[in-house]
Amino acid sequence: MTSTIDPERIRTLGNGEPDPGARFVLYWMQASQRAEHNPALEFAVQRANETGCPLVVVMVVMPDDPDASVRHLAFAVGGMQRTVRALSRRGIRSCVRVGAPADIVAELAADAVELVVDRGYLRHQRAWYRELPRRVPLRITQVEGDVVVPIDLVSDEVEYAARTIRPKIERHLDRFLVDLHTTAIEDRTTPEGTTSDVDLDTMDGASSIAEWLVDLGVPSDPGPVDGFTPGTSAARSTLRRLLERLDTYHEDRNRFADPDSTSSLSPYLHFGQISPVAVATAVRRRGGEGADAFIDELVVRRELAMNFVARHPEYDSYSALPAWARESLDEHRDDEREHVYTAAELEAGRTHDEIWNEAMRRVREEGWIHNQLRMYWGKQIVRWTNTPEHAHRTLLRLNNRHFLDGRDPNSYANVGWCFGLHDQGFAERDVIGKLRPFTTAALDRKDDIDEWRER
């Protein structure tokens, strides 16, 4: 166990002296929504103990979170509910507020000694970290806890593919796959002026989190999904199930008809409800081919996506796709399409392809499908739309609107992958040019399609 947080995880965003009456250390818990294996939280506890103050952890429910609906926010708030309880068991005060994060954090920070934040990589998250130092004249420390290897240490350029980033990540694994020691908070008092806008146990009398969110103006469609219980305990159980069958992960991971062939950890990772370091450390301890294959997905592939969104200013645009892919798609722009569907027809799952329609139905209703099905689902949209630009916009929108793990760096990188990102050219075909094809026959080779449909 180590209580030190690697200095590469820590950046100073701002410097300034607190007002003489400042009363607490403030941690804005945003990307790392958990009370354990959270280096930003442990750093904030240590700073509170060093300054002789209590700690306040603020979590913000943002009704206009970009692209979010009740599907996403009910899961996020369900996780917060459990994190508030877990923090309370550690004697740490939390404060849940509703509104615009930077306003809320700046207001609370007026009474704080210093501010600690965690780190996300999407455009709106980066904008917060740029804005806060202008509004909060305090020492502001950012602690990066949702990647294994801090992204600035890995690479300052847009990486070409998994094979180029892999050695840059792997050389640091021993250093960053370490346990994080929990520090006890010393001052357990509750500072004035830090009450929550809502008691998450009673939800202002609403019958459910979803109802409460809709009352706040969060879009009700798509609605919540049943398949995933939010929170760190559920994430830990999901990890335990993975560890039981880890030895065969490398052989089974493409078997899309088997719901247990992969971990199903992606929603928990997306909302920061489990630490990728804790997952990778537990997996690595087991060792073996299954563990190696899993770490390649969790660390190399996932952190390649972080690299893409952090380093490419237009990560959500068609223009971010590799030049060879855009050129090839351009050459096939006027090819006759066998089928062309509107975005609405695609979303409703009204195509000639029953397998695709069934995948789309599950995306709509369950908010999650297996990786092989995501590949099939995404690749067909490229073939069935009028222009590649429209295909890219449509796929990204459907992905982020419906997947519980959508709106993630992985969303942008993997939608991009359907258009050649992080991939190589293949033999030229109509419409898709040199993009990697993914046919029904290819899907059929991975697993039994009928078995999947019956399930």
Ligand X SMILES: Cc1cc2nc3c(=O)[nH]c(=O)nc-3n(C[C@H](O)[C@H](O)[C@H](O)COP(=O)(O)OP(=O)(O)OC[C@H]3O[C@@H](n4cnc5c(N)ncnc54)[C@H](O)[C@@H]3O)c2cc1C
Structure tokens, 220: 């009700």
The interface with ligand X within residues 360-419 (CB under 6 A) comprises 371, 374-375, 378, 399, 403, 405-406, 408, 410-411, 414-415, 417-418
- Between 247 and 297, CB nearer to ligand X: 297
Q: With beta carbons less than 8 A apart as the criterion, state whether 173 and 34 touch.
A: no
Decide whether 33 or 266 has the Cβ nearer to ligand X. 266
Nearest to 266 by CA among 72, 59, 101: 72
Task: Say which residue the tokens 């997306």 belong to.
Answer: 270
Count H helices, E strands: the chain?
22, 6
Concatenating the DSSP letter of every residue in 355-403 gives HHHHHHHHHHHHS---HHHHHHHHHHHHHTSSSHHHHHHHHHHHHHHH-
Applying CB under 6 A, which of residues 33, 38, 141, 263 lies at the interface with ligand X? 263
Binding mask 143-182 for ligand X (x = CB under 6 A): ----------------------------------------
In the complex with ligand X, the residue whose CB is nearer, 141 or 273, is 273
Q: Looking at 30, 38, 46, 266, which residue binds ligand X (CB under 6 A)?
A: 266
Residues binding ligand X: number (CB under 6 A)? 28
Query: Closest CB to ligand X among 230 and 378?
Result: 378
Interface residue with ligand X, options 32, 38, 264, 328 (CB under 6 A): 264
CB of 231 to ligand X, least distance (A): 16
Q: How far is the CB of 138 from ligand X (least distance, A)?
A: 34
All residues at 6 or more sequence positions from 171 whose CB lies less than 8 Å from its CB, including other chains? none
In the bound complex, what is the minimum distance in angstroms from residue 377's beta carbon to ligand X? 6
Cα gap 255→441, rounded to integer Å: 14
Q: Whose Cβ is closer to ligand X: residue 82's or residue 370's?
A: 370
Residue 293 beta carbon to ligand X: minimum distance, rounded to whole angstroms = 9
Nearer to ligand X, 74 or 298 (CB): 298
Distance of alpha carbon 133 from alpha carbon 396, whole angstroms:
32
Task: Indicate the burial class of 304 (C-beta count within 10 angstroms; 0-12, 13-18, 19 or more).
Answer: buried
- Which residue stretch of 40-48, 80-88, 147-155, 265-273 sits at the interface with ligand X (rule: CB under 6 A)? 265-273
Q: Which is nearer to ligand X, 355 or 418 (CB)?
A: 418
Comparison of 71 and 253: residue with beta carbon closer to ligand X? 253
- Helix, strand, coil percentages for the chain (3-state, nearest 5): 50, 10, 40
> How far is Cα 107 from Cα 281, in angstroms, rounded to an integer?
38
> How many Cα atoms occupy the beta-carbon half-sphere of 45 within 13 Å?
25
Tokens of 441: 């026959």
Burial class (CB within 10 angstroms; exposed 0-12, middle 13-18, buried 19+) of 3: exposed
What is the number of other CB atoms lying within 10 angstroms of the CB of residue 449? 18
Residues 6+ apart with CB under 8 A from 195: 95
Per CB under 6 A, 274 contacts ligand X? no
Which one, 94 or 281, has the nearer CB to ligand X?
281
Of residues 127 through 146, those in contact with ligand X by CB under 6 A are none
Q: How far is the CB of 367 from ligand X (least distance, A)?
A: 10
Q: CB of residue 115 vs ligand X: minimum separation in angstroms?
A: 29
CB 388 within 8 A of CB 246: no
265 interacts with ligand X by CB under 6 A: yes
Alpha carbon dihedral 89, 95, 96, 97, in 10-degree steps, equals 180
Q: Does 447 bind ligand X (CB under 6 A)?
A: no
Helix or strand run (H / E) with residue 137:
none
Question: What string marks each residue from 39 to 78 as x (binds ligand X by CB under 6 A) or -?
Answer: ----------------------------------------
Site string for ligand X, 285-304 (x = CB under 6 A): ------------xx--xx--
Q: How far is the CB of 332 from ligand X (least distance, A)?
A: 20
Residues that bind ligand X (CB under 6 A): 253, 262-266, 269-270, 297-298, 301-302, 305, 371, 374-375, 378, 399, 403, 405-406, 408, 410-411, 414-415, 417-418
